[in-house]
A = this chain, B = another copy of it.
Amino acid sequence: MAQQKPVERHSGVSLWRQIADRIRVSIADGEFRETGRLPPAFELATRFGVNRHTVRAALAFLAEEGLVESIQGHGTLIVGNRQLTLPIGRRTRFSAGVGDQASSVTTRLLHSAELPAPAEIAALLRIAPERPVIEVEEAGYVDDRPVSCSQHFFPADRFPDIAHHLIAIGSITRAFAACGLPDYLRASTEVSARHADARERELMKLSPGAIVLEARAVNTDLDDQPVQCSRTRFSADRVSLRMTT
């Protein structure tokens, strides 16, 4: 942080919003780790070159997000944080990847359905268009904070029961195992970034204007046959991706 970057006026983004965003990344960078709390509001106001009330609006917004908590007479405490790094390589697995960065890693199945494959999905899975695919939507949580939401497609001809296994077991890796596929590999991952849409914001409890990292991946079996393609959106505030080639 510090006063070297003043806020931008007339940019279409309100000052309190810019300030909230910058404080959020400062917290993620560990800038206030020593004290565990933010500098007083009037000091932040002079740093950013705005009025104390404007800073207060930013802090109220961050408090709404659950990132900080203001206590009258005392200060503003940092209560939530954590930036995760998720490794992506040949053997990418969501829960294993987070590893020791967190104490609990869970996924929640939101929805599943069987439908004829859209052209794009069929091409990625290398099946004929309109052949049935199983679509599964799930959300990922780390220490009970939502960090991702994803959409998976499996060829229904090969894994007709994978949705039932997923519901029962909860893990894609183990659902594959239950379908007779003990191992699989990540063939490709395409990453882009954009603003979160309304549904993503709802699922991951993001604020308007938040950024998501979108990873489109294809997994194959050991014979290089596609077994799954998926589209996972990560909250960019909470996750970065590390590719190992």
Contact = CB atoms under 8 A, between A and B. Distances in A.
Given A14-B13, A17-B12, A245-B90, A211 B188 contact: no
A89 B5 CA distance: 36
A35 interface: no
A69 B226 CA distance: 44
Contact of A208 (B13, B192, B242): B13
Copies in the complex: 2
A187 interface: yes
A64 to B, nearest CB: 11
Interface string A186-205: 11111111110110000000
B241 A209 contact: no
Nearest to A208: B11
A213 interface: yes
B190 A242 contact: yes
Given A12-B209, A208-B11, A191 B20 contact: no
A111 to B, nearest CB: 19
Q: How large is the interface on A (under 10, 10 to 19, 20 to 34, 35 or more residues)?
A: 35 or more
A209 B243 contact: no
Nearest to A17: B12
Interface in A55-113: 61, 85, 88-90
Nearest to A5: B198
Given A193-B213, A211-B195, A236-B194, A13 B16 contact: no
A240 interface: yes
Contacts of A8: 208
Nearest to A186: B245
A243 B188 contact: yes
Contacts of A21: 195
